[in-house]
Amino acid sequence: MMQKLKRYIFDHFESHFIFTILISVVLINFFVYSKIAFLNFYYLPIMLAGYYLGRRTAVLGAFFTILMVWVFVIADPENYYAHEEKFHMYFHLTVWAGFLMLTGWIIGGLKEKLAFTDKLREELAHEKELLDISNRRLNEYSSTLETKVSARTRELEQEQGTVESLKTRVEDILFSVIDSKVARLMIEGKLRNEKRQISVLFSDLKDFTQYSDRNPPEKVIHELNSYLGEMEDCITQFYGHIDKYIGDGIMVEFGAPVKYKNHSILAVLAALTMQERVEKTHPQWKMRVGIATGLAVVGLLGSKRKSYSCIGDTVNLASRLEELCELGEVYIDHNTYMIVQQFFHVSRVRSVSGKRETDKIIEAEIQSLQQLLNQNPNDLNMMYALGQAFFKKRAASAAMEVFEKIIKLDPDHIEAREGYQEAKKNRDEYEKIAIRGKSERVAIYRVTGIKDPLMDRNKIPRYVYDQYTPLFSNIQLPVELVHASEAVDGTLGHGKTVALLSYALAERLGLSHKEKEELLIAGYLHDLGKMIVPHELRGGHRPLSKTEQALFHKHPEESTRLIKQLGYDSQILLNYVKSHHEYFDGSGYPERLKGEQIPLGSRILSIANDFDTLTSRRKNQEGLNYQNAVRELQKKTKTGKYDPQCLAALIQLLNLQTAPPYQLASH
């Protein structure tokens, strides 16, 4: 009953409030004598209204009460100022009205703040309830989360393993039918159809057809795959692209699809390595190799089944050279010869039918005449006999050179003039060979091996060569790996030269036997790290940007890493290689070491490296002889680039007559 009454009062409080105000005003004004004293009574309903009904209702109630009181005051003023003056009564009523309004305003404001606080409390309670629910759910979920995560992780690992397995299978299948470089260029959209300068290699085995007819197919395929596997290693090591297998024959491009500038050198190195490998692993077979260099159209050939290949006159010439080649040899065309003659032993092929018996007699005659001419170089009759011998051997160019010398010594020598004209007339016929499909005769050359860079007397004096060359016969080095790296930037033989010079300088500077051996290996392998540098940035063909220089300057550290992979773990050797581009004045790289901070072996490597660079043919320019190279090194030593004692050791090694400006330090 009380709850209903309480709810009824609260639900109709505003009506009760108005009614109370009306009744109070009427009763006080009609029945209370001291009306001024009872004015304070009105604070009670206004305060209650402010608390329960809010600021607006309380202020309106106060205003309504004041209005009603003023109505009674105006209607019957004597009842209000009977005991005080009229002015004081009006002043009293005005002050009372102001405080009554202010009371309604303040109490109503407090109520609103309390209401806002209550609302916040309710919201917080609601949020707390939601948070408790979430915590309960989270606890329930976390109890099983680890199990779910483990299960999902296993599922993802299985899916990833399946994807990786599928990816590996696809790559294996793709790379088994397409060169990996071609596949990547196709995926990247960088494979173009174009006319490009390349070198093409053809190889073939003699009498393999008869071998396959005599043996079971299983044995034939096994032996053939073994042979092709060996050849693939040789070709890919020198960056060749295997175009196709033609039975036991192979067609290879160098300089495509990746545009290596020194593709001719790479092709000849690959050919010589292939011949060595066949002789070592399959001595029962003999191989022929032909190489031609020139323009060819390269690109993807085929409609549905595409393959990267090349066509053109260069391809046909390489194929013909392989057909004409003698067993176990490598034949090249004139374009290839002009590029590789600096690095390889090459001789002109006079006849494709093999060496004539009479050639042996003529060669003996030529050797005898040359020995006699060394004793008497101005004997015209002997010179004329030598020219005639060369002509009989069909070496027309050599004969022309001899006859030309005679004419310079004796302009009236009629026989020499006639011999010169005869040799000139027959030069193409004698020295060039007719090839099917070619309208003109072609010069053919035989490659017999790699030149020893230490035989270059512009670099290494004879006595230095004789003293230190035997060192290389007592040590095993990854020759093919170094050759592949050096061929890319056209510096074939650089490592061997630096190795010999470094060992010789170390001996003069008093290093121990162990340190000298480490320095010999370091000199041979010091540039292996250049393999991380893109081939188009190597060889100094153009200035490098700052980004490219930063990449290039990483190669000493990369050399160190590769040398460790090869099994060389001596810290002395690794330090020599890592710091071989540090300069004495601190301007080098990678750590900008200075003076004695640089290992002595690295200082030796630095000057040996730059000496070989100065004396080598680069960018179609002949290298300096070793005397002029030393002068250049002296200039740079004065500016602080090289260790003076290393330069002094080099001058002493080369036995130069000019007194060196630096003295050897004692060790």
Q: What is the CATH number of the domain that holds 406?
A: 1.25.40.10
CATH of the domain at 307: 3.30.70.1230
370 within some domain: yes
Amino acid (one-letter) located at 434: A
pLDDT confidence bin for 101, thresholds 50/70/90 = confident
663 within some domain: no
Show the domain range for 128.
12-133
Q: How far apart are CA 82 and CA 76, in angstroms?
A: 11
**Among 590, 395, 555, CA closest to 485:** 555
Q: Is 301 helix (H, G, I), strand (E, B) or coil?
A: strand
CATH of the domain at 460: 1.10.3210.10
Q: Which two tokens stand for residue 264?
A: 């001719």
**pLDDT at residue 22 is higher than 90:** no
Range with the poorest average pLDDT among 285-294, 347-356, 430-439:
430-439
- Taking only the tens place, the pLDDT of each residue in 208-255 is 888 888 889 898 899 999 999 999 999 999 999 999 998 889 999 999
Do 401 and 335 lie in one domain? The reply is no
Query: Which run of H or E residues covers position 663?
Result: none
Do 211 and 318 lie in one domain? The reply is yes
592 within some domain: yes
Mode of pairing for the β-strands spanning 240-246 and 287-301: unpaired
- Report the share of the chain in percent with pLDDT over 90: 37
pLDDT confidence bin for 666, thresholds 50/70/90 = very low
**pLDDT at residue 434 is higher than 60:** no
Do 280 and 379 lie in one domain? The reply is no
Do 510 and 550 lie in one domain? The reply is yes
Q: How far apart are CA 608 and CA 499, in angstroms?
A: 8
pLDDT confidence bin for 76, thresholds 50/70/90 = low
For 480-498, what is the mean pLDDT? 91
Do 315 and 223 lie in one domain? The reply is yes
For 385-392, what is the mean pLDDT? 84
308: left (phi over 0), alpha (psi -120 to 50) or beta: beta
**pLDDT at residue 83 is higher than 60:** no
For 608-632, what is the mean pLDDT? 86
Question: Which residues, at least 6 apart from 586, have a Cβ–Cβ distance to it below 8 Å?
Answer: 592, 593, 594, 595
Do 426 and 462 lie in one domain? The reply is no
Are 425 and 449 in contact by the 8 Å Cβ rule? The answer is no
pLDDT number for residue 203? 95
> Which sign does the torsion angle of CA 544, 547, 551, 554 carry?
positive
Do 403 and 513 lie in one domain? The reply is no
Where a domain ends, among 133, 157, 175? 133
For 109-118, what is the mean pLDDT? 70
pLDDT number for residue 196? 93
Do 115 and 195 lie in one domain? The reply is no
Name the residue with higher pLDDT: 435 or 86.
86
**pLDDT at residue 200 is higher than 90:** yes
- Report the share of the chain in percent with pLDDT over 70: 81
pLDDT confidence bin for 509, thresholds 50/70/90 = very high
Do 198 and 337 lie in one domain? The reply is yes
31 within some domain: yes
Amino acid (one-letter) located at 265: I
Name the domain count of the chain.
Answer: 4
444 within some domain: no
**pLDDT at residue 360 is higher than 60:** yes
Do 417 and 540 lie in one domain? The reply is no
pLDDT confidence bin for 204, thresholds 50/70/90 = very high
Buried b / exposed e across 134-166, counting CB within 10 Å, b at 16+?
Answer: eeeeeeeeeeeeeeeeeeeeeeeeeeeeeeeee
501 within some domain: yes
Q: How far apart are CA 311 and CA 180, in angstroms?
A: 21
150 within some domain: no
Do 490 and 569 lie in one domain? The reply is yes
Where a domain ends, among 342, 369, 402? 342
For 577-596, what is the mean pLDDT? 92
pLDDT confidence bin for 176, thresholds 50/70/90 = low
For 433-446, what is the mean pLDDT? 71
Range with the poorest average pLDDT among 111-125, 406-420, 455-469, 482-496:
111-125
What is the pTM (predicted TM-score) of this model? 0.67
Are 567 and 556 in contact by the 8 Å Cβ rule? The answer is no
Do 255 and 326 lie in one domain? The reply is yes
408 within some domain: yes
- Taking only the tens place, the pLDDT of each residue in 525-562 is 999 998 888 877 776 667 888 888 888 889 999 999 99
- Taking only the tens place, the pLDDT of each residue in 631-648 is 999 999 999 999 999 999
Q: How far apart are CA 228 and CA 274, in angstroms?
A: 10
Where a domain ends, among 133, 153, 178? 133
**Among 329, 232, 211, 227, CA closest to 278:** 227
Q: What's the whole-number average pLDDT of the chain?
A: 82
**pLDDT at residue 112 is higher than 80:** no
Name the residue with higher pLDDT: 442 or 68.
442
Backbone phi, psi, residue 575, to 5°: -65, -40
CA gyration radius, the chain: 52
**pLDDT at residue 115 is higher than 70:** no
pLDDT number for residue 37? 61
